[in-house]
Homo-oligomer: A and B are copies of this chain.
Amino acid sequence: MKRKGILVIVSGFSGAGKGTLMKRLMEMHGEQYALSVSMTTRQPRPGEQEGISYFFVDTETFEKTIGENGLIEYASYCDNYYGTPRKYVEDMLEQGKDVILEIEIQGALKVKEQYPDALLLFVMAPSAEELKRRLVGRGTETEEVIRKRLIRASEEAEGIPAYDAVVINDDLDTCTEELHQMIRSAHYAVSRNLSFIDTMQNELKELAKGE
C-alpha cells in the first residue's frame, strides 16, 4: 500500500500547551512528521530563525505568493500577513510525511475545503477549570487579561465540533503518544484508502472470473 502523508491540522486553546506538544512530538517521532513553517510579513523577534520560526518576507513578496496561489491559507492579523506556503506541504505529503499545521479554526476550515482528507485535531485541557488554572497560573496577568483569555477560549470552544478529534493534554508524554497513534490510525481510514480498496475490488473481480 503506497502511503501518502496526511495533512494534520492542530488547533487548540491558547494555554493548552500546543507548542510544547508539537515540540515533543517532533523529538519522539520526528522521522514521520514535517512541521509546516508559516510565511509572514511581520518583523522577526529576538531568537526567531528564518525558515524555522517563519519565512520572513516583505508585503510585496507575500502578495505575489497569494497571486500565484502559493498559499494554502492566509490571514492578516495586527497589520501583518500570515500564511501557509503550499509547496513545502505538498512536497512533504508526496514523500509520505505527515505534515503538521498549527493554525486557528478559520484557517483550518479553509484548508479542509482544499484538502478534504486533512485530519483536524483540537488540543484541550482536561477541563475548563484546569484550563483556567493554566491561564491564571502564570501569575503575572491582571484580572482583565485573564478575563479576555477566557472569553477567547470560550469563542474557540465553539469551533470544536468542526474538528475530527480532540487531544486531551494532561500528561505531556501520554498526550504526545496518543496524538502520534491518532495520526497513525488515521492512515487506515477507508476514506484515505479508496484507491487501494478499488484496486483490491478489481483484482478480486478478475480472480473470481477465473484465470
Q: Verify A129–B189 contact, CB threshold 8 A.
A: no
Q: Verify A182–B190 contact, CB threshold 8 A.
A: no
| A172, CB-defined interface residue at 8 Å | no
Complex Cα–Cα for A1 and B178 (A): 15
| A168, CB-defined interface residue at 8 Å | yes
Shortest Cβ distance from A1 into B: residue: B168
Q: Verify B185–A181 contact, CB threshold 8 A.
A: yes
Shortest Cβ distance from A207 into B: residue: B150
A16 vs chain B, min Cβ distance (A): 11
Q: Verify B165–A205 contact, CB threshold 8 A.
A: no
Q: Verify A132–B207 contact, CB threshold 8 A.
A: yes
Q: How many residues of A contact B (CB 8 A)?
A: 46
| A101, CB-defined interface residue at 8 Å | no
Complex Cα–Cα for A196 and B199 (A): 40
Shortest Cβ distance from A205 into B: residue: B154
Contact A204:B153 (CB < 8 A) given known A160-B190, A184-B181, A185-B185: yes
Q: Verify B154–A166 contact, CB threshold 8 A.
A: no
Shortest Cβ distance from A184 into B: residue: B181
| A71, CB-defined interface residue at 8 Å | no
Complex Cα–Cα for A157 and B1 (A): 16
Task: State which residues 78-109 of A face B: CB under 8 Å.
Answer: none
Cβ contact of A190, chosen from B157, B158, B164, cutoff 8 A: B164
Since A153-B204, A166-B188, A168-B188 are in contact, a sample of 8 more A-B pairs with Cβ atoms closer than 8 Å, ordered by chain A residue number, is: A129-B203, A150-B207, A154-B201, A154-B205, A157-B197, A165-B185, A165-B188, A182-B185
